[in-house]
Amino acid sequence: MGTNAIPPPGTRRTVKGLRIVVAGALGVLGAITFLTAPNSANAAESTLGAAAAQSGRYFGTAISAGKLGEAAYTSIANAEFNMVTAENEMKIDATEPNRGQFNFTNGDRVFNWARQNGKRVRGHTLAWHSQQPGWMQSLSGSTLRQAMIDHINGVMAHYRGNIYAWDVVNEAFDDSNGGRRQSNLQATGNDWIEVAFRTARAADPAAKLCYNDYNIDNWTWAKTQGVYNMVRDFKSRGVPIDCVGLQAHFNSGSPYNSNFRTTISSFAALGVDVQITELDIQGASAQTYAAVTNDCLAVPRCNGITVWGVRDQDSWRSGDTPLLFSGSSKKPAYTSVLNALNAAGPNPTVTPTVTPTVTPTVTPTVTPTVTPTVTPTVVPGACSATLSTVNSWPGGFQTTVTVRAGTSSVNGWTVRWTWPGGQTISSLWNGQQTVSGSSVTVRNAAYNGSVAANGSTTFGFTANGSAATPTATCTSP
């Protein structure tokens, strides 16, 4: 790691309070910069990032670690963009190639390049059906659910306090029917997305948490409506979500439609930020690029645009020539985007009071109550259960319950406990709950009732109230 490399998570935790103060100060400084920046249509900034900053927005690009040694690439990227997304390097297969063994070598390359050049970083992505390492692809049920939670915690701890926004969940909706995409994550239970967001909020309260998807740009498409309904539901139930990422990969099969502005403003009206996260347009029409830019500029909560690569040759769809640069040349689309950004006035929502980068009082440092490992008394043929708090935040917590078989296997289990202080479960996975007053009974799900002798399985839940780990009993029929 270079001098600006991220210190190891353990080191960072010891200065967490300091980091929050610094981040808060930077937030205020950033806002002051905005207030004093040129904000008239005549400012005519000469780079995309500076032009976007006039209205309090950013203009970003995907960066590939393998290209950071190419001066022709980095000179454009450094001059033009002020937000960076790692194109592949922070994905699950890159960051946790073996279960429990994290590797941030390439993620840190991109991160450090961005930070050393004064750019912010979007994190991409924590929970996704694609680009899973082999070990994760073969998991299912409670084991996969726990692996997802562990992955989110591991990656977010490494970059804690240093990521502008995380794509917490990526591409979880079906392409045509408006429902969820079938995947191993979806098969762990419909609540997997909200569990991912709750886990992410506790892991890094300073990061904005986004849901990110493609083909949710056209307001009339079922997929767009499906995601919209999920975000509305999350907002109504207090599931922590801050932003929606519209990937905006436009091509002949999924063309730009002028209702894109309706999509942006409709999501924003739910109380989330909207970010255009992976923009590329087949053929790079200057007119379409300007339309997309103006659609974002028209909605105060559309706070930034990221193009999915620097030059056409860097694109995942290079044959479509969909980006703003060809070799070292600015394309007509570049000029149309720059002009649109320069024509925008100041963004009325970007003021120090409305958009603080970090509000320390809202994000107190939460030290999860860690339940000491308890070795239960093993009764042959029976089972035992232990509650363990894995995350907590003001007013809520997340628990993993480990169900262990004794010296004989069990076929079906029932775990019971009584809440000490009015706690209520908001969402439970890998089990079936029955609640009667403060008494909770959880029976195995259809797929995890059989536990081998001396083996174990887990279920989990999020709950409202103060974190508690009451003693649980386990019985097996």
Nearest approach, Cβ of 121 to ligand G3I (angstroms)?
A: 15
Nearest residue (CB) to ligand G3I, 166 versus 214: 214
Nearest residue (CB) to ligand G3I, 317 versus 416: 317
Nearest residue (CB) to ligand G3I, 279 versus 468: 279
Confirm or reject binding of residue 131 to ligand G3I (CB under 6 A). yes
Amino acid identity of residue 161, one-letter, is G
CA 143 to CA 458: how far, in whole Å? 8
Q: If you search the block for the tokens 């394309």, which residue do you land on? A: 331
Nearest approach, Cβ of 277 to ligand G3I (angstroms)?
A: 8
CA 91 to CA 437: how far, in whole Å? 43
Confirm or reject binding of residue 4 to ligand G3I (CB under 6 A). no
CB 251 within 8 A of CB 282: yes
Residue nearest to ligand G3I (CB): 316
Nearest approach, Cβ of 87 to ligand G3I (angstroms)?
A: 5
The DSSP line for 154-212 is HHHHHTTT--SEEEEEES-B-SSSSSBPP-TTGGG-TTHHHHHHHHHHHH-TTSEEEEE
Other Cβ atoms closer than 10 A to 190? 12
Q: Which of 40, 46, 75, 130 binds ligand G3I (CB under 6 A)?
A: 130
Nearest approach, Cβ of 131 to ligand G3I (angstroms)?
A: 5
Confirm or reject binding of residue 87 to ligand G3I (CB under 6 A). yes
Nearest residue (CB) to ligand G3I, 88 versus 349: 88
Three-state DSSP state, 46: coil
Q: Which of 214, 260, 325, 397 binds ligand G3I (CB under 6 A)?
A: 214
The DSSP line for 357-416 is S--TTTS----PPPPPP--PPPPTT-EEEEEEEEEEETTEEEEEEEEEE-SS-EES-EEE
SS3 content of the chain, % helix, strand, coil (to 5): 30, 25, 40
Confirm or reject binding of residue 278 to ligand G3I (CB under 6 A). yes
How many residues in the shown chain lie near ligand G3I by CB under 6 A?
Answer: 8
Catalytic residue of the set 87, 89, 171, 278: 278
CA 465 to CA 119: how far, in whole Å? 38
Confirm or reject binding of residue 316 to ligand G3I (CB under 6 A). yes
Nearest approach, Cβ of 1 to ligand G3I (angstroms)?
A: 22
Token pair recorded at residue 383 = 């089972």
Q: Which of residues 386-415 bind ligand G3I (CB under 6 A)?
A: none
Nearest approach, Cβ of 215 to ligand G3I (angstroms)?
A: 10
Query: What are phi and psi for residue 425, nearest 5 degrees?
Result: -80, 130
Active site includes 278?
Answer: yes
Confirm or reject binding of residue 251 to ligand G3I (CB under 6 A). no
Other Cβ atoms closer than 10 A to 422? 10
Confirm or reject binding of residue 247 to ligand G3I (CB under 6 A). yes
Nearest residue (CB) to ligand G3I, 132 versus 462: 132
Catalytically active residues are 278
Interface contacts to ligand G3I, rule CB under 6 A: 87-88, 130-131, 214, 247, 278, 316
